[in-house]
Amino acid sequence: MREFEFTRATSLDGAAEQFASGGEAAFIAGGHTLLPAMKSRLRMPDRLIDITGIPGLDRIERDGDRLWIGATARHATVADDATVKSAIPSLAKLALLIGDPQVRNRGTLGGSITNNDPAADYPAACLALDATIETTGGRYQADDFFLGMFTTALADGEIVTRVGFRLPQAGAYAKFRHPASRYAMVAVYVARFVDGWRVAVTGAAPAVFRWTGAEAALAAGQPTDGLLLDPSELNSDIHASAEYRAHLCTVMLAKAVAELV
Ligand SMILES: Cc1cc2nc3c(=O)[nH]c(=O)nc-3n(C[C@H](O)[C@H](O)[C@H](O)COP(=O)(O)OP(=O)(O)OC[C@H]3O[C@@H](n4cnc5c(N)ncnc54)[C@H](O)[C@@H]3O)c2cc1C
């Protein structure tokens, strides 16, 4: 790892000022993705700006039909928070399935969705729960935020401040974990709303996506066990072939639907 400067921001304006003060800068939250990337020299920022000390950026609150979770809320906090557990229990369960205790005690919601790893859990929650992502630059709907592998709609220097998850009537998350990393080999989030269903898949393809065929089948009250994604659009690697991932998607969908019903 090469030398870098480390600063702590105490306000969003202060973080933006530090970001713009020359050289290549990066915000750091839990550091569980950024630091490994720096160790392997995939990222070489001149300055790290810690945003976890900004007051209020980890707040969790329910407001109308949304549950708002601050960007620096750690996975362990979300998993254990009484408001999250009562508003969207499936979201608390998802947070508990991320990594191991060390990862959950450091990693944050904002870091996870900004990184947008194709096997990460929170991007699936954002898509399935029709989330609004609030940033220092404005608001995005989740459908417009996740652009592709490790790519989002965020501009350079833009900070995610909080995420508003729409409260479903019911939701369920089924995850087949990689036994070593605990990232999703495949995971499916199913949410039922008063006006329809949303189904999101992570781990299976180069980027998180909505399974519109499953959404239509659920809306029509049709069985989903015969649904199969096209393997030619899914990932194939040393851990699982595309055909196996397609099969896992069908199985995880059935698991989530059974839990939800
Ligand atoms: C062993 C291991 C296992 C893991 N298993 C899983 C798993 O099962 N499921 C899963 O989903 N994830 C998993 N992760 C990833 C983990 O959840 C990370 O914590 C997360 O992806 C990144 O969050 P962070 O807070 O650590 O972000 P950081 O590493 O601090 O930052 C990541 C990126 O986001 C940027 N950033 C951070 N916060 C903000 C913000 N608020 N606004 C704008 N930019 C921001 C940073 O500049 C950086 O580019 C695992 C990680 C490890 C090391």
CATH code of the domain covering residue 207: 3.30.465.10
Say if residue 189 is in the same domain as residue 251.
yes
Say if residue 44 is in the same domain as residue 133.
no
Say if ligand 1 is within 6 A of residue 43 CB.
no
Question: Residue 223: pLDDT band by 50, 70, 90 thresholds?
Answer: very high
Say if residue 42 is in the same domain as residue 72.
no
Q: Which atom of ligand 1 is nearest to the CA of 34?
A: 29
What gap in Å lies between CA 183 and CA 119, rounded to an integer?
6
Is the predicted pLDDT of residue 73 greater than 80, yes or no? yes
Closest C-alpha residue for ligand 1 atom 16: 107
Q: What percent of the chain has pLDDT over 90?
A: 96
Contact of 185 with 239, CB cutoff 8 Å: yes
Is the predicted pLDDT of residue 181 greater than 90, yes or no? no
Q: Looking at the domain assignment, is residue 145 inside a domain?
A: yes
Is the predicted pLDDT of residue 238 greater than 90, yes or no? yes
**Number of compact structural domains in the chain:** 2
Say if residue 13 is in the same domain as residue 137.
no
**Model pLDDT, residue 2:** 78
Say if residue 37 is in the same domain as residue 158.
no
Report CA-CA distances (Å) from 36 to 1, 39, 245: 10, 5, 27
Say if residue 10 is in the same domain as residue 114.
no
Is the predicted pLDDT of residue 201 greater than 90, yes or no? yes
Say if residue 28 is in the same domain as residue 118.
no
Q: Looking at the domain assignment, is residue 158 inside a domain?
A: yes
Say if residue 42 is in the same domain as residue 65.
no
**Model pLDDT, residue 261:** 82
**Model pLDDT, residue 161:** 98
CA of 187 to the centre of ligand 1 (A): 18
What average pLDDT does range 250-256 have in this prediction?
98
Q: Looking at the domain assignment, is residue 55 inside a domain?
A: no
Structural domain containing residue 44: 5-50
Question: In the 3-class helix/strand/coil scheme, how is 32-49 assigned residue by residue?
Answer: CCHHHHHHCCCCCCCEEE
Say if ligand 1 is within 6 A of residue 107 CB.
yes
Say if residue 164 is in the same domain as residue 184.
yes
50, 70, 86 - which closes a domain: 50
CA of 34 to the centre of ligand 1 (A): 7
- What is the chain's alpha carbon radius of gyration, rounded to the nearest angstrom? 18
Contact of 25 with 156, CB cutoff 8 Å: no
Say if residue 205 is in the same domain as residue 88.
yes
Say if residue 105 is in the same domain as residue 207.
yes
Q: Looking at the domain assignment, is residue 112 inside a domain?
A: yes
Contact of 113 with 104, CB cutoff 8 Å: no
Say if residue 16 is in the same domain as residue 64.
no
31, 50, 69 - which closes a domain: 50
What average pLDDT does range 225-239 have in this prediction?
95
- Our CA angle for 41, 182, 259, nearest 5°, is 145
Q: Looking at the domain assignment, is residue 136 inside a domain?
A: yes
Residue type for position 116: N
Q: Looking at the domain assignment, is residue 139 inside a domain?
A: yes
**Model pLDDT, residue 1:** 61
pLDDT in tens, 92-108: 999 999 999 999 999 99
CA of 184 to the centre of ligand 1 (A): 14
